[in-house]
Structures are given as structure tokens and as C-alpha cells.
Amino acid sequence: MSSCETFRELLVFHAEGVLAPESIRQVEEHLASCAACRQESEQIGRIRGWLKEPELFEPEQDLAWELLPGKLAGRAASLPSRRWNLAGLGLPQWAMGAAAIAALACGLIWMMRLHVPRPPAAAIGLAGSGNAAFLDRVHTVYTREATVQYLDGCHALLLDLASTARKCDRNHFDVSLEIARARQLLQQKRMIDAGPSVPNLEQARSLCDDLERFLVNLSTSRECESGDALQLMERSIERGQLLLRIHVVSSDIS
């Protein structure tokens, strides 16, 4: 490699200011004595200058930019939070969380005591119906949480499926990961179905069933599906308004 070629490899980094002092000195000495490299350096500098021009890829000036932050804040505020944010919880939220955990712990202790021989209820004044109500409450909370998780999983899967870009060949897309996730979600759905029936979750149950049908179709797809088959699936998502319904139902039961 000639001296000029060696220095030309460094010109972009020289312009970026990321060279070591010794390299800077050598490059500048060379530029002072080499007109061709000096021209190359000037051209690189001009390209960098143009790339830094604020007008490059700059959006048009209009009112939309002033309004966008407020508009997005409004939309964001109406979205459900999709994950727990322990770091962001304040004292009241921690207190409520601790109380909920304590309640669940009491429930578990009570369930364990079911296996211990007890005196007749009348002797200690316990009302069986009150304990049953508590257990129902625990089951309800569990089923709601499992349903929300299932819906979240379906939501993420549908979005990923619609944007999948892993190609097997020119006309086919690799959906093996999505198939595996669909099978996992089907297992989750079976666990929800095996649990007790919870009132006020009829709308969610109907949506979960629709999603289950979609998941069954997906889980029996080929790992390399054609673009046409994927478009059919996307149309099925749109036709069933699955994403919108997930959004609405998740908001309701959260």
C-alpha cells in the first residue's frame, strides 16, 4: 500500500476528530505535502458538511410539529401499560402491592389449613360461604391475570407476524418462530379454559376463542409460508378486528 493510500484510509477519521494525536500529526504533515490527498480530504470535508446541513431530510415547517407532542401525549395516555414498572412505582402503589401480596399469602395459608383436621365450624363460628367467596376472588384475580397475559402474547404475535421479514427464499417467509409462539399461547389458552369460569369476562372469552382459532391455523402452517398465505392471515386479522378488540378488552379487564 502506498503512502497516499495509507493516509486516505485515515482521512474520514481525521475529519471526525477521532484519531490519536500522533496520527493527526502524521496525516497533517502528509496533507501539507500532497495536493491529491489534500483534495480528497477537502471533498470528504464537503460531504460531511452537506450531511450536517439541517435541511437534509428535514421535514417541512408546519403546525403539525407544534401540535404533535400534545397529540401523542393524549394518545399515549389512553394506551394501557403493557408491562409492570416496579422502578416507577411510588409509595402508595408499593403499599397497595404489599397489601395484595399479604392478602394472597393469607389465602394460601388458609388453603393449607384445609388439610388440617378442624373442629366443627359451629364450634368456632366460621361461615363457609365467606371463605368460598374469598377463594372465588383469588380464582378470579388469577384468571384475569392469565387472560391479560394471553391477550398480550397474542397481540405481540400478531404484530410480529404482520411485519415478519425473515425469508426462506424469494417468495416465502420463515414463520417457524411465530408457529412456536402460537403453540405456547395455545397451551396458555388451555390452562385458562381449565380454570373456573369467571363472571364479567364473557367478552374476553369470546375474543380468546377467536384468537385460539387463528392460533390453531397458524400453528399448523408450514414453517416457510408464501407471501400470499401471510397476506391471507393479515386479512383475517383485519377482518376479525383482532388487534383492536385485544386493545379494547385488555383495557377493560386491566
Partner 1 sequence: MKRVQQGDMHAYQEIVQRYQRKVYRVISTYLHNREDALEVLQDTFLKVYTARSTWESRFSFAGWLYRIAINASIDRFRRADRGHTASLEDVMESQIHQSATVAASVDPLSKLRGQERRRLLEKAVRRLPQRQREVVSLRFFAEMKLEEVAAALDCPLGTVKSNLHKAVMGLKEMMLKQKGVLDYEQL
Chain residues in the site for partner 1 (CB under 8 A): 9, 12-13, 16, 18, 43-44, 46-48, 50-53, 55-60, 64-65, 68-70, 72-73, 75-77, 79-85, 87-88, 90, 162-163, 165, 227, 230-231
Can you tell me the distance from the alpha carbon of 217 to that of 234, in angstroms, rounded to the nearest whole number? 12
In the bound state with partner 1, the residue whose beta carbon lies nearer, of 69 and 119, is: 69
The 10 Å CB-count burial string (b at 16+, else e) for 161-183 is beeeeeeeeeebbbbeebbebbe
What is the C-alpha radius of gyration for the chain, rounded to an integer number of angstroms?
Answer: 31
Spatial separation of the C-alpha atoms in residues 132 and 253, rounded to whole Å: 23
In the complex with partner 1, which residue's Cβ is closer, 72 or 101?
A: 72
For the bound state, the minimum distance from the C-beta of residue 129 to partner 1, rounded and expressed in Å, comes to 40
Quick one: DSSP state of residue 167?
B
Q: How far is the C-alpha of 121 from the C-alpha of 127, rounded, in Å? A: 7
Q: How far is the CB of 245 from partner 1 (least distance, A)?
A: 18
Least Å distance between CB 52 and partner 1?
6
Residue (55 or 169) nearer to partner 1, CB: 55
Residue 89 vs 126, nearer CB to partner 1: 89
Written as one letter, the residue type at 182 is A
Measured from the CB atom, the residue of 22 and 58 that comes closer to partner 1 is: 58
How long, in residues, is the chain? 254
Smallest gap from Cβ 87 to partner 1, in A, equals 6
On whether the CB atoms of residues 174 and 213 are closer than 8 A, the answer is no
CA angle 27, 31, 37 (to 5 degrees): 105
Shortest distance in whole angstroms from residue 99 CB to partner 1: 21
Helix axis angle, 176-194 relative to 202-219, nearest 10°?
A: 140
The least distance separating partner 1 from the CB of residue 158, rounded to whole angstroms, comes to: 13
Q: What is the DSSP letter of 173?
A: E
Q: Give 205 or 245: the residue with its C-beta nearer to partner 1.
A: 245
Distance of alpha carbon 177 from the chain centroid:
16
